[in-house]
Amino acid sequence: MIKISIYIFILGFITACGYQLRGAVEIPEGMENIYVQNASKPLYKQLKDVLKFSAGKLVTTSTDAGVVLQIQKEKLHNRVLAVSTTGKANQFEFDYQVLYALYDATGKVLMDAQRIEIKRDYFNDQEDILGQTLEEEMIRKEIYIQAVQSILRRYRIALEKSSN
């Protein structure tokens, strides 16, 4: 009986302090159903995953959506930052840029075009090719997660400002 009481106390404490799953974002009311236009597959996947942990979902038509996320431009660029003495690239930078706007189901502008830019550096270990590939994949995934979280947070802040 004491163990159950301890578990209930811990669970209550965690939820009371605002704990949420990693990747979860507070979804603004009315934005639970999102329709996405022109997103790359990685951005779409990360948006779907973040919404899954945040009580939201992607819908297949704009008429079912509370908000339409229109990706106007998206680009992920990789460039060399440093070269080793043997002439091989050993440090890279990812530069991700996304330009997006938010609309309601009728096409009314909810948020004018916004730009997000995320940059990440990483070291290219010439002796651990497999590790380097996994690190690149992980960094790309984190970039898309950060972009999705930024889009959702910016929209929530804009909604709060407009309601005040």
pLDDT tens string 37-46: 999 999 999 9
Q: Given this structure, which CATH class describes domain 2-163?
A: alpha beta
Which pLDDT tens digit goes with each residue over 49-76? 988 887 788 999 988 898 899 999 999 9
Beta-bridge mates of residue 117:
97
* Full strand arrangement of the beta sheet holding 33-37: 57-58, 33-37, 67-83, 89-103, 109-123
Under the banding of pLDDT at 50, 70 and 90, the label for residue 149 is: very high
The whole-model pTM stands at: 0.77
What is the C-alpha end-to-end distance of the chain, expressed in Å? 48
Q: Domains of the chain: which residue ranges?
A: 2-163
